[in-house]
Amino acid sequence: MKIQHQISERAYSASGFAGRYQKLVTDTVIPWQEMILWDKAPDTEKSHAIANFINAGKALRREDTGDGFYGMVFQDSDVAKWIESASYSLMNSPDPELEKELDNVISLIAEAQDKDGYLNTYFTVKDRDKRWTNLHEAHELYVAGHMIEAACAHYEATGKRTLLDVMIRNMEHIRDHFIVKGNPGVPGHPEIELALMKLYRLTGDSRALELCCHFIDERGQDPELFIREADNRTWSVWNSNPRDEGDREYRQCDRPVRDLEKATGHAVRAVYLYAGMADLASETEDEELMAACRRLWKNIVSRRMYVTGGIGSTVQGEAFTVDYDLPPDTAYCETCASVGLIFFASRMLENEINGEYADVMERAFYNTVLAGMALDGKRFFYVNPLEADPGISGVAPTHKHDLPVRPKWYQCACCPPNVARLIESFGKYAYGENEDTAYCHMIASGKVVFANGIELVCDTDYPHKMDVNYSVKGKGRLAIHVPGWSKKYDIIRDGKTVDAELVNGYIYCDIDGESIIEMKLDDAPYFVYSSCLIPRTAGMVALRRGPLIYCFEGTDNGSVKALRIDRDSKPEISSFSEILQVYTVSVKAFREDASDELYPDTPPESSPFTATAIPYYTWGNRGETEMRVWMR
């Protein structure tokens, strides 16, 4: 069933925009996060993540564990994602010192593994007798999944089996517990499903595939599974009650996965699960499972996704709510959720080539994912609102989660390393291949050597400039995705304009030898209008240029609350911001005069104003200020 698969990360050498971001992650983000994991970063919230592994090793050796375990129950996953991003970095930029640091951290992880293969510092240090008794809350399988993904990336990068063998033993332990011994249970937080598929494809170990099938097939078969689990224990991590109304939908276990119709519950858990489902569907040719994935995809992108590619509209459970509930000011839009949406989209592309999946990957990456990290790589958003108002955002009880300034770090630090690993592995999502076709899903400057023999060099300043040049050689086909946002485009091959047929968002070019293929996209900024079905933004307008959603900041405009956009005007590229390294867009607007009265009975005076917009991913990099994506 698989139409194409991801390329090896080694096959892609990034340049341009992607290359600059990978360099930022390699030079700044990975070292910064390493300092945090070792509790060496100044003026930053304590992590203790590496110390937890050291103390787990001591616990297994029956030594004094000193300060014990500290952090979230899933603190180990921060280390796993750091290892994964650092491993991808080694593929992109070999670094003996970084490889040595990885060897050191992995040795600590190996020492923290129990003799039966179990690996989780929370339970090894703190609650050894409670292993596998609280799948509802305790994230054991989630952590194992991230460790498996780290092990796969590390082996791909170095050829070393040090972490891979640890995680194969851990997989064997998990399989023994849930399949051989028949203990009931599914992940409270899905993630291990897609990790097991990576392990299976890397090693060919059918037990990993069997375990993935087991967790996906068992999910929702017994909607009261977590209730019975809670009845059999006397302890809790967060005092969450599986009997609470909506808990089964919240954890995506209210029905078998093949019966799912709508995206529900915790947004990150949902898209991690759906990515695993689509991954399994492509491997096993399970059309019923794929049909469920299509339904879930359609529900997300047509009713439950923000214009920025953010998902999860409420702070209450970091969750999806109902169709068209997409408030901009209290939006949650967790960075990890958009990373997960990219995972889901990329797995859907493995099953069927459809430009909509690539369009959503691009929307989520260039807007919400990149907004999750400051331009200097040292501050991070967990939550990505579409409005910010100093004095309200991060202050009012309803807006406490919507911070107007990125923190350096936070205790629940799942998002920063997630952004880092995605950026370092960007080539996997931008390009794909099968036996005779090379796929360009996202426009990414750099060189690609496909396993099918095709070689490609992409030269572009995308997403800020819209001309793309592909130099390609080999024998087979090149499939170029034409972004759905481009109102017009030209394809020029070896100097001649080509009237190529667009098939599900892709243009296919036969390759036999060498060719230069140019794609010229529409670089004009334009308005995006909100559906009247979305209550809070009905009648409002946003700006878009290329894949980038724009926003208005007080730094450029004064109070953006006082602005109304002239919808009859034409937005224009206005200048290049040296500080933000982006093109700004200007548009005619009207500024209303502020009134001292809360509710005056006369209309406000207004005057013409030229408003300036910047790409959404760059907001919040020039100090605390107002921000709006949707404008009156």
Q: Does residue 613 share a domain with residue 547?
A: yes
Q: Does residue 538 share a domain with residue 491?
A: no
Which helix (H) or strand (E) segment holds residue 422: the answer is helix 415-424
**pLDDT at site 504:** 97
Average pLDDT estimate for 290-295: 98
Domain containing residue 509: CATH number: 2.60.40.1180
Average pLDDT estimate for 33-53: 91
Residue 106 resides in a domain: no
What is this structure's pTM?
0.97
Q: Does residue 493 share a domain with residue 437?
A: yes
pLDDT of 383 > 70? The answer is yes
Q: Does residue 564 share a domain with residue 493?
A: no
CB atoms closer than 10 angstroms to residue 600: 9
Beta-bridge mates of residue 456: 448, 472
Q: Does residue 611 share a domain with residue 535?
A: yes
For 485, the domain range is 429-521
Average pLDDT estimate for 179-208: 97
pLDDT of 154 > 70? The answer is yes
Last residue of a domain, one of 521, 553, 580: 521
Please, what sign has the CA dihedral across residues 443, 446, 450, 453?
A: positive
**pLDDT at site 1:** 61
Q: How confident is the model at residue 565 (pLDDT cuts 50, 70, 90)?
A: very high
Q: What is the pLDDT of residues 499-545, one digit of tens each?
A: 988 999 999 999 999 999 999 999 999 999 999 999 999 999 999 99
Question: In this structure, are strands 627-628 and 548-553 parallel, antiparallel, or unpaired?
Answer: antiparallel
CB atoms closer than 10 angstroms to residue 486: 16
pLDDT of 51 > 70? The answer is yes
Average pLDDT estimate for 444-465: 97
Under 8 Å between Cβ of 619 and 548: no
Q: Does residue 517 share a domain with residue 533?
A: no
Residue 455 resides in a domain: yes
**pLDDT at site 2:** 78
Average pLDDT estimate for 376-394: 92
How many domains does the chain fold into? 2
Q: Does residue 532 share a domain with residue 511?
A: no
Burial annotation 222-247 (CB, 10 A radius, 16+ → b, else e): ebebbbebbeeeeeebeebebeeeeb
Out of 362-371, 410-419, 575-584, pick the least confident.
Answer: 410-419
Q: Does residue 548 share a domain with residue 530?
A: yes
pLDDT of 145 > 90? The answer is yes
Last residue of a domain, one of 470, 505, 521: 521
Q: Does residue 547 share a domain with residue 483?
A: no
Cis-peptide into 242, omega within 30 deg: no
Beta-bridge mates of residue 141: none
Q: Does residue 540 share a domain with residue 510?
A: no
Residues recognised as catalytic: 318, 414
How far apart CA 160 and CA 235 sit, in angstroms, is 39
**pLDDT at site 500:** 86
pLDDT of 413 > 80? The answer is no
Q: What's the chain's average pLDDT?
A: 95
Out of 41-50, 161-170, 329-338, pick the least confident.
Answer: 41-50
Q: How confident is the model at residue 42 (pLDDT cuts 50, 70, 90)?
A: confident
Q: Tell me 603's DSSP state.
A: P
Largest CA distance in the chain: 77
Under 8 Å between Cβ of 49 and 416: no
With a pLDDT cut of 70, the percent of the chain lying above it is 99
Residue 13 resides in a domain: no
Residue 534 resides in a domain: yes
Residue 259 resides in a domain: no
pLDDT of 415 > 80? The answer is no
Average pLDDT estimate for 348-372: 97
Helical residues (DSSP H) of 25-161, grouped into ranges = 30-37, 49-60, 76-92, 96-111, 121, 140-158
Contacts 24+ apart (CB under 8 A), 164-170: 164/202, 164/203, 166/106, 166/109, 166/110, 166/113, 166/119, 167/119, 167/199, 168/199, 168/203, 168/205, 169/113, 169/117, 170/113, 170/117, 170/118, 170/119, 170/144
Average pLDDT estimate for 608-629: 96
pLDDT of 284 > 90? The answer is yes
pLDDT of 581 > 70? The answer is yes
Q: What string of DSSP letters covers 290-313?
A: HHHHHHHHHHHHHHSB-TTS-B--
Last residue of a domain, one of 491, 521, 551: 521
pLDDT of 411 > 80? The answer is no
**pLDDT at site 171:** 98
**What amino acid occupies position 124?**
T
Tokens read off for 221: 């078969």
Residue 133 resides in a domain: no
Q: Does residue 531 share a domain with residue 620?
A: yes
**What amino acid occupies position 139?**
H
Question: In this structure, are strands 467-481 and 437-440 parallel, antiparallel, or unpaired?
Answer: parallel
Q: Does residue 513 share a domain with residue 499?
A: yes
Three-class DSSP category at 548: strand
Angle between helices 96-111 and 162-175 (to 10 degrees): 30
How far apart CA 384 and CA 378 sit, in angstroms, is 16
**pLDDT at site 18:** 95
Measuring CA to CA, how many Å separate 182 from each of 40, 117, 174?
A: 44, 17, 11
pLDDT of 582 > 80? The answer is yes
**Centroid of chain to Cα 534:** 24
Q: How confident is the model at residue 409 (pLDDT cuts 50, 70, 90)?
A: low
CB-side neighbour CA atoms (13 Å) of 515: 20
Residue 81 resides in a domain: no
Average pLDDT estimate for 137-161: 97
Residue 56 resides in a domain: no
